[in-house]
Structure 1
Amino acid sequence: MTMQKIRVKLKSFDHRLLDQSSLEIVNTVQRTRARIAGPVPLPTRIEKFTVLRSTFVSKDSRDQFEMRTHSRLIDILDPTEDTIDALMKLQLPAGVAVDIKS
């Protein structure tokens, strides 16, 4: 017997929004009686940018900015048709990117 698996990967700049979305997915999957593994927090991707404050002189004066991308991984094991239907109807907040692979 082959085991089916759906892998859901969530990404967001706001970790609170990400945790809320992953909790919604976990609750939805548990209501449909499918097994679930996760949410697993993946490493945070940090992009740093350094720019000059002045447009002309003073290279010693710089600003640094960073962009943090938080990620979570959720595996849904042995999904049923009800699970897939419930996930399709689920409304997640704006600002959360969802990547689904089977």
Structure 2
Amino acid sequence: MSSGKIRIYLNAYDHKLLDQSAQKVAETAKKTGAKIAGPLPLPTKTKRYTVLRSVHVNKDSREQFEMRIHRRMVELLSSNQKTIAALTALSLPSGVGIEIRQA
């Protein structure tokens, strides 16, 4: 068993796809005998953009767009080499970002 904690951060624009991926990561870690905490929801980042509808005239006419980036975290409290190998071999759907950090 390794002594350090490992944190796995997942982010995506689609929250349903993100929840499925986080559940998949958690199940894979549990099957290999690791103790986990999570998946924990993290605050959603919101990016807003305002764009003029027409250039040079009608400055009061604008459109507003918003992108939401949903995030989850899974923490491995105790893991082994088998767990790390299983997580690196895990294939997640496109659109889901994954970052693994040693805590």
What is the aligned residue count?
101
Distance 2:95 2:64 in 1: 24
TM-score by length of 1: 0.94
- Structure 2: which 5+ runs fail to align? none
- Aligned alpha-carbon RMSD (Å): 1.1
Which whole-Å deviations, capped at 9, do the CAs of 1:51-98 have from their partners, x for residues lacking one? 110112001110000110000011011101110111011000011111
Distance 1:3 1:85 in 2: 17
Q: % of aligned pairs identical?
A: 50
- Distance in 2 between residues matched to 1:43 and 1:16, nearest whole Å: 15
Q: Distance in 2 between matches of 1:100 and 1:26?
A: 13
- With normalisation by structure 2, the TM-score equals 0.94
| Letter aligned with residue 40 of structure 2 | V
The one-letter amino acid of 2:42's match is L
Question: Aligned partners of 1:41 and 1:74: how far apart in 2?
Answer: 9
Displacement over 3 Å in runs of 4+: none
Aligned mates of 2:81, 2:56 — CA distance in 1: 62
